[in-house]
Amino acid sequence: DGGITQSPKYLFRKEGQNVTLSCEQNLNHDAMYWYRQDPGQGLRLIYYSQIVNDFQKGDIAEGYSVSREKKESFPLTVTSAQKNPTAFYLCASRSGTGLNEQYFGPGTRLTVT
Amino acid sequence: GIQVEQSPPDLILQEGANSTLRCNFSDSVNNLQWFHQNPWGQLINLFYIPSGTKQNGRLSATTVATERYSLLYISSSQTTDSGVYFCAVASRSGGSNYKLTFGKGTLLTVNP
């Protein structure tokens, strides 16, 4: 099946630990995005990448890091510097060949205690 | 950056009723999408509609780009339509990055 997968669905960590969230797509899309959603809120952009080996900060990049070594993969690391890491994290991708529609993965719910 | 406002924030309907959700945005856009977020958090693409009108079954959407608003119409609502509806836009002034800015959503509850 073509689509975007995120793993794990639920993730629990202790404060002070870094944690990496996985995002993989087999849609052959060029661009990938990471968003964060807090309860009762819309999504906010953390990082995005338009091509392999290139990425840019979004609106709330502090305390996060990413890499884009392969077209299919765009992992997000939530570092211990992120003050309020507990949230729902969603990954998205876009074709990039003149098609602007973004498609989303199922999300990872991160809880840090 | 671009501002996105959705109204109403909450809406309660009886099954079978019709509804209109509104999205206002503050700048010209090159992307506008409507999503439905299901109870598990998955964002379902409803429409990609930076301008014009589209219909898909009981749902339709209209974007008037020159007046900077979009409307999502739900007819003959069903309980499965419940959830949060988001409007998201990418500003033309943002270049070719197509970064989406989301509104805060409309929480729709359809009662049987």
Q: 3-class SS at B92? A: helix
- All residues of chain A having their beta carbon less than 8 Å from the beta carbon of residue B30 are 100
The pLDDT tens digits for B5-61 are: 999 999 999 999 999 999 999 998 888 999 999 988 999 999 999 999 999 999 999
Looking at residue A30, what DSSP letter applies? S
Q: Do B98 and A102 lie within an 8 Å CB cutoff?
A: yes
CA neighbor of A105 nearest in space, from A37, A18, A51: A37
Helix (H) or strand (E) holding B73: strand B69-74
Whole-angstrom distance, CA of residue B9 vs CA of residue A73: 35
The pLDDT tens digits for A24-37 are: 999 999 999 999 99
> Is residue B108 within 8 Å of residue B11, measured between CB atoms?
yes
Interface check B62 vs A, CB under 8 A: no
Q: Do A58 and B48 lie within an 8 Å CB cutoff?
A: no
